[in-house]
Amino acid sequence: MMSFLSGLWAILTEPVNFIGWLGFAMMAGAIRMKPKFAWEHTVGVWGLLWLTIGCALGLGWAPKEAMMGEVGRILYVHVPAAWIAMVVFTIAFVSALGYLFSGRLGWDWAVEAACEVGVVLNGLLLVLGSIFAKPTWNTWWTWDPRLTASLVMMLTFIGVILLRGAVRDPNRRATWTGVATIVAYLNIPITYMSVRWWASMHQQQSTPATMNDEMKMVMRMCAWAFLMISIWFIARRWRLAQANAMAEMPEPLEIPKGAR
């Protein structure tokens, strides 16, 4: 319990995390003020700035990883991509529950947006993982439990997107997509715990106690950046889904003048 509380306190008070929460405060302020530009652009620019700084620090300031040397610097983007992919898929899962319980199409649009952004992040983490694996494991790919589960994670959500494209009726599409998203999400805890449940070439999840302070700072900075950029993409994709849904709605029938 004490370790959990200390970890929570670190999340709330460490400088990098504080600046990350500041990004959310900026997002809330932009939503409240309703500027002429969409609020998510504020979040996206903040995320891009953070990602640029984080990558620069990861390449030139943070120390080398003890076992992997310079190759380990790719972890500053690979690991955050994995973290935020799971966060985005969780947003899709919660949105699917939201639609199934409320029937509001706004939740369905969020499912569509989050699934697509999550698949992009999942593909990025697999590509970065392969680049990392070649010099460290001497292979681009192996059917390691974590890698296999990550691939299945991406394929299941691609399946959700394909299912969505195959159903024309909006209400039926939203219902089927919601159920499929919940089923696809069952693989998320399996992916996360795979390194603990089965023998794996992948290392187990690191803890703050096992990481250098500089490495920890850069990792968290890039994680915040990926989160902000993902929110930006999800919001933009949500607006596109809303516009498409409005375009699909039939135009109201005109009442003949004589029938009024």
Instruction: State pLDDT tens for residues 103-112.
Output: 899 999 999 9
Would you say 173 and 167 are in contact if contact means Cβ atoms under 8 Å apart? yes
Query: Would you say 212 and 72 are in contact if contact means Cβ atoms under 8 Å apart?
Result: no
Q: Tell me, yes or no, whether 219 lies in a domain.
A: yes
Cβ atoms of residues 78 and 129 within 8 Å: yes
Report yes or no on 165 lying in a domain.
Answer: yes
Domain enclosing residue 183, as ranges: 17-243
Residue 49's alpha-carbon distances to 59, 124, 149, 229, 244, in angstroms, are 16, 19, 32, 10, 31
pTM: 0.82
Domain membership of residue 6 (yes or no) is no
pLDDT of residue 226: 92
For residue 249, what are the CA distances in angstroms to 39, 174, 239?
Answer: 27, 14, 16
- Token output for 99: 């639609």
- Asked if the structure places residue 258 within a domain, the reply is no
Which range of 3-17, 42-56, 63-77 scores highest in mean pLDDT? It is 42-56
- Domain CATH code at residue 131: 1.20.120
* Other CB atoms within 10 Å distance of the CB of residue 89: 28
Q: How far is it, in rounded angstroms, from Cα 236 to Cα 11?
A: 28
By the 8 A CB rule, do 27 and 44 touch?
no
On whether residue 123 sits in a domain, the answer given is yes
Residue range 234-251, pLDDT digits in tens: 999 999 988 887 877 665
Residues whose CB is less than 8 angstroms from the CB of residue 228 and which lie 6 or more positions away in sequence, other chains included: 20, 23, 43, 44, 46, 47, 50
Per residue in 88-103, pLDDT tens? 999 999 999 999 999 8
How confident is the model over 194-207, as pLDDT tens digits?
767 655 656 655 55
Average pLDDT over residues 22-34: 60
Domain count of the fold of the chain: 1
What's 139's DSSP letter?
S
Mean pLDDT over each residue of the chain, to the nearest integer: 79
| 33 CB-near residues (< 8 Å, 6+ apart) | none
Report if residue 256 sits inside a domain: no
- Does residue 147 sit within a domain? yes
In a domain, 12, yes or no: no
